[in-house]
Amino acid sequence: MPKKVAVIGLGSMGYGIAQSILAAGHQTFGFDVVAAQMHRFRAEGGAEGAREDIAATLDAVAVVVLNAAQTEDVLFGPQGVVPRMAPGSVVMACATVPPAFAREMAARCAEHHVHYLDAPISGGAVKAAQGALTIMASGTAEAFAAAAEMLDATSEKVFRLGDAAGAGSAMKAVNQLLAGVHIATMAEAMTFGMTQGVPPETFMEVIPSCAGNSWMLENRGPHIVDGDYTPRSAVNIWPKDLGIVLDIARDAQFSAPMTATALAQYEAAAGMGLGGEDDAAVAKVYARMAGLALPGEAS
Amino acid sequence: MPKKVAVIGLGSMGYGIAQSILAAGHQTFGFDVVAAQMHRFRAEGGAEGAREDIAATLDAVAVVVLNAAQTEDVLFGPQGVVPRMAPGSVVMACATVPPAFAREMAARCAEHHVHYLDAPISGGAVKAAQGALTIMASGTAEAFAAAAEMLDATSEKVFRLGDAAGAGSAMKAVNQLLAGVHIATMAEAMTFGMTQGVPPETFMEVIPSCAGNSWMLENRGPHIVDGDYTPRSAVNIWPKDLGIVLDIARDAQFSAPMTATALAQYEAAAGMGLGGEDDAAVAKVYARMAGLALPGEAS
């Protein structure tokens, strides 16, 4: 049955999610601080209406913003949707946030009889637009049931990680730890190889069939070989996401030296003015320190 | 045509290589500082003879020892084989060594008219015994030709990385950098997840289909889930191999912070008395610092 859905946050991930929900036949509103993104989505068939006017009529809200602060503002800020939403409706929260924050949001939603699905996403902008994300979800059976059509429309794989908010966000943090460290390590290994006469394209020919391979190496390595730093996912994601990991780690008194070291490399990249480039640009930190010219750079 | 071959170094990798060459129908001598390994190999069909007596009659020597110092001793030490070998025979050097060392050995072999194939290996003991290694090889066309039967017998994939010794060892160092960092990162992520309520078995169910996956995560993670630290590849490999990477990096004035951080974790594992355990035991460094009980440990 077609649902009435709002997607709040129309960045690269949120826009793809809104498109996927719209394509599945649901009445879909798209909201963003950038008005041009809202107009673009309406031109593609998005529904018309002000957020505060339509909130009470929604079956579901997907929140695809940058972090916990923006999520809280969208849900409970001055224009917050949750106090306006109908009992039995659901919030599907997709940002990378600390597990404790997800638990707090779920409890506050419950006070308004609104379900909360802790639903961080993985897969990138291309898969978001294809409705083929991986979702690491946790929440009550009622939250899963209320969000079923949105999960169907947006994902190719849903991991059901438990019956309470927090477990999804915990797994997302674990995944981001690995993904962020692996990109920095790929950059370190590729540039290290260059100092020993291994060209980046040979690296990419050999390593994917060796024990040193990673998902991120195969995904991001070609960006360096091609000298193409168009941001599929930007450097600036990592100070945020690895910062979340280290915030959680500190609260748990957990020592995470690999994460902390990778974070320092992304911070260096941002400090060099590369924050808006593709995250493979962390290789430029290594290259500039070692006096190497990456593909596409003048030597 | 059957060849006359010696394998020097019958550890877990060398023994499997010797078995594979023997199984391919070649007359195969096996030598090791541990006499029991030599007797075991002779009982399986290995040829009889003292190293200095048979050296002049060999077509090829595979050197599968721990490091550069042992390789040099085997080739040019008091009992060194190269000065005794016939012109046109070949040394296939499989240890992880610095590229500059490989170039030096090739030059010294050339003085004796002996070919040198820089041929570090990847794949582990199981693949060594199956004759299914990946070999990262470089050397002259003559070296490749002279080693052809040995490569056939021992590998499922040979990367031909150039016509001079050194390129193979450079690629091996790159691969070891990645592999060593990825194991430590897997351990960090898995134990971090435990602090957030993600059990190791759930970690292994979810992450292999997410962007955080690596070859080493899929290979070593199950050892932790099973609480099985039988050494398929031991912790002690990594202070050696990451030490080689950092030696090379220092000579190249290359800053490798991810490698240095991972090395510190393996050194901590060795310092805790875990050097002989499977390298997945680096997870115990994290677990003990965070007060976590890994699977199979009393909580």
Contact B192 A157 (CB under 8 A): no
Q: Is A121 on the interface with B (CB under 8 A)?
A: no
Q: Is B183 at the interface with chain A, CB within 8 A?
A: no
Which of B157, B214, B286 is closest, CB to CB, to A209? Answer: B157
Segments of chain A assigned to CATH 3.40.50.720: 4-163
| CB within 8 Å of chain B, chain A residues 19-58 | none
CA angle, corner B113, sides to B109 and B117, nearest 5? 50
What are the 10-residue block averages of pLDDT along chain B, 299 residues in total? 95 96 98 97 97 96 96 96 98 95 98 98 90 97 98 97 96 98 98 96 95 96 98 93 95 97 98 98 98 90
Query: Smallest CA–CA separation between B192 and chain A, in Å?
Result: 7
User: Which of A175, A190, A191 is closest, CB to CB, to B207?
Assistant: A175
* B87 close to A (CB below 8 A): no
CB within 8 Å: B265 and A248 = no
**Token pair for A110:** 């419950």
What is this structure's pTM?
0.91
Round the average pLDDT of chain A to a whole number and report it.
96
Nearest CB to A174; choose among B178, B179, B189: B189
Tell me the nearest-neighbour CA distance from B114 into chain A, angstroms: 25
Write out pLDDT tens, residues A225-262.
999 999 988 999 999 999 999 999 999 999 999 999 99
Report strand pairing: A133-137 vs A121-122: antiparallel
pLDDT over 70 (residue A275): yes
Of all residues in chain A, the percent with pLDDT exceeding 70 is: 100
Q: Cβ of A136 under 8 Å from any chain B Cβ?
A: yes
Count of CB contacts below 8 A, A vs B? 233
Listed in order, the ranges of chain B carrying CATH 3.40.50.720 are 4-164
Please answer yes or no on whether B178 and A207 come within 8 Å at the CB atom. yes
Q: Is B172 a catalytic site residue? A: yes
Q: Is the pLDDT of residue A50 over 90?
A: yes
Tell me the C-alpha distance between B153 and B134, whole Å.
12
Q: Does A79 touch chain B (CB under 8 A)?
A: no
Note the pLDDT of residue B257.
98
- Domain A4-163: give its CATH code: 3.40.50.720
Residue B237 is predicted with a pLDDT of 93
> Is A196 within 8 Å of B185 when comparing Cβ atoms?
no
Which two structure tokens, joined as six digits, stand for A105?
């949001």
What pLDDT, in 10s, does the model give residues A138-153? 999 999 999 999 999 9
Residues of B in contact with A217 (CB under 8 A): 178
Contacts of B122 in chain A (CB under 8 A): 210-211
Architecture per CATH, A170-290: Orthogonal Bundle (1.10)
> What's the pLDDT at A112?
98
Question: Does residue A298 register a pLDDT over 80?
Answer: no
Supply the pLDDT for residue A299: 62
pLDDT value at position A64? 98
Topology at the third CATH level for domain B4-164? Rossmann fold (3.40.50)
CA of B200, closest CA in chain A: separation in Å?
11
Q: What confidence tens digit (pLDDT) does each residue in A202-217 have? A: 999 999 989 999 999 9
Residues of each domain in chain A carrying CATH 1.10.1040.10: 170-290
The per-residue pLDDT for A60 is: 98
Q: CA-based angle A23:A29:A32, to the nearest 5? A: 115
CB contact under 8 A, B177 and A256: no
